[in-house]
Amino acid sequence: MKYKVFYKEDKSHEIELDNHQIKIDGKETDIDLVKLLDNKFHILQNHKSYSIEVIHADYTLKRFSIKVNNNIYDLNLQNELDILLDQMGMSGGNSDKMDHVKAPMPGLVLDVLVEVGQLIQKGDNLIVLEAMKMENIIKASGSGVIKSIKINKKDAVEKNQLLMEME
């Protein structure tokens, strides 16, 4: 099974697990891995010892925080399917970064819950949009910083109209 592990925003490694052999970036490694507890491991590589503890695991989003010799690292993981979709240019739905927000339906803007320059995370509430006598909260599908807001309270918007730009 192949995985791609992302850390420190611009760094990644491809890890392949096959018949008790571990390859990192295509190179065979000599790693001795011992599971101590459900979330604690010990690794011996090139005569160096590493204590590893999984601090947080979100299997749905494939995000993990691990402690390696008292240093904490945040990791994002892609499996073989994620890697294939990425190579085919179809990974936009899994992207962490938002470029813009468009209206999912025609409606009336009841409230804008964010402001220019604000840092937002996936799931944050952005806009309250009334459509068909119902209030709908438009949430962030990824993270970013609000670059511009193209609408105001009480504006009528059309489906797919640009509401916000992100950077």
Considering the domain 100-166, what is its CATH architecture? Beta Barrel (2.40)
Cα 107 to Cα 132: distance, rounded to the nearest angstrom: 8
At residue 154, what are phi and psi to the nearest 5 degrees? Answer: 75, 5
Contact in structure between 154 and 128 (CB atoms under 8 Å)? no
Q: What is the pLDDT, as a whole number, of residue 130?
A: 92
CATH of region 2-93, choose from 3.40.630, 3.90.105, 2.40.128, 1.20.120: 2.40.128
Q: Please indicate, yes or no, whether the overall pTM of this predicted structure exceeds 0.85.
A: no
pLDDT of res. 94? 47
The residue-averaged pLDDT of 111-132 equals 90
Question: Where in the chain are the domains?
Answer: 2-93, 100-166
Q: Which pLDDT band holds residue 158 (cuts at 50, 70, 90)?
A: very high
- pLDDT tops 60 at residue 80: yes
Q: List the structure tokens of 97.
A: 């970064």
| pLDDT at position 84 over 80 | no
Per-residue pLDDT tens for 24-38?
898 888 888 889 998
CB atoms within 10 A of CB 63: 15
**Rounded average pLDDT over 8-27:** 83
Residue for token pair 């509430």: 125
Distances (CA, A) of 120 to 37, 96, 139, 146: 36, 11, 10, 8
- Given a cut of 60, is residue 93 above it in pLDDT? no
Do the beta carbons of residue 122 and residue 143 sit within 8 Å?
yes
Domains 2-93 and 100-166 are alike in CATH topology: no
**Quick one: pLDDT at residue 2?**
84
